Copies of this chain bind each other. A is one copy, B any other.
Amino acid sequence: MTLNVLVWGENRHEQIEPHVREIYPDGMHETIAAGIRENLSDAKVSTTTLDEPEHGLTDEVLAGTDVLVWWGHAAHGEVDDKVVDRVYQHVLSGMGLIVLHSGHWSKIFGKLMGTTCTLRWRSERDRELVWTINPTHPIAQGVPHPIVIEQQEMYGEFFDIPVPDELVFVSSFSGGEVFRSGCTFRRGHGKIFYFSPGDQDYPVYHHKDVRKVIANGVKWARTDLPERALPTLLRYETDDFFNGHGYSGPIEEPADA
């Protein structure tokens, strides 16, 4: 069954910074998309960017997206709150979400986490080693232990996220910092994978193993539910487990009204 994937890229650095354009002539979003197509033969992968109308994330587009992949950095604040809420509803209803690198500070990730999602950082060409902490996890399959990334931006703990449902990878950097670089979360009916390697200043999204992990994450994040559905508050009569009733309000008619 076709796996519909949409890669959302901010596409600002590529416009403004020549050195980024050199590393990612097609834009980070297209590079990430190519990596997914390479690894998942049944995936139909599209891309869209911040500057499209509605940031390319209409309700129709989201309804047809099994997994959304998010890369943002310089313009988190420009993402429209209405669109963020739309994406949020779709994730809670069953759309998978992959959040990459600086996406840790995106509105959508923060909304789903409920924390600041802050961390420590430095961009000085540290070597990153991505170690597998959960060797039987589907996301960890097909990559070496460790994945070696010669030049990367350092991200370090304390990474202010809720305790991940599953910790798949932990990275170290030349400077000695460590970071929980591969984490899964379930929110509502949606599955989320956060993966930190990647930065506009380094060719990380061309890295064979990074592309493999992102593809594994996309495959994992697709829902097992038969259809999209938002968890809802319903009332159930005694012994009737299968017919819920909508909420009519918290206060009964006041007796002394």
Contact = CB atoms under 8 A, between A and B. Distances in A.
Interface of A: 12-13, 16-19, 73-74, 92, 94, 102, 105, 111-116, 118-122, 124, 126-127, 129, 131-138, 141, 144-146, 148, 154, 156-158, 160, 162-163, 165-167, 170-178, 180, 185-191, 223-225, 230-239, 241-242, 244, 250-252, 254-256
A74 B252 CA distance: 11
Contacts of A154: 236
Contact of A122 (B16, B18, B124, B236): B236
Given A115-B92, A115-B231, A170-B170, A178 B178 contact: yes
A132 B114 contact: no
A221 to B, nearest CB: 10
**Chain A contact residues: helix, strand, loop or mixed:** loop
A156 B131 contact: yes
A136 B190 contact: yes
A255 B201 CA distance: 14
15 contacts: A92-B160, A115-B187, A129-B176, A133-B157, A133-B180, A136-B190, A141-B225, A145-B158, A146-B241, A156-B236, A162-B185, A163-B167, A170-B180, A172-B178, A177-B236
Copies in the complex: 4
Contacts of A131: 156-158, 177-178
A160 B242 CA distance: 18
A114 B114 contact: yes
Contacts of A256: 18
Nearest to A252: B17
B116 A114 contact: no
Contacts of A102: 250
B176 A127 contact: yes
Contacts of A224: 136-138, 141
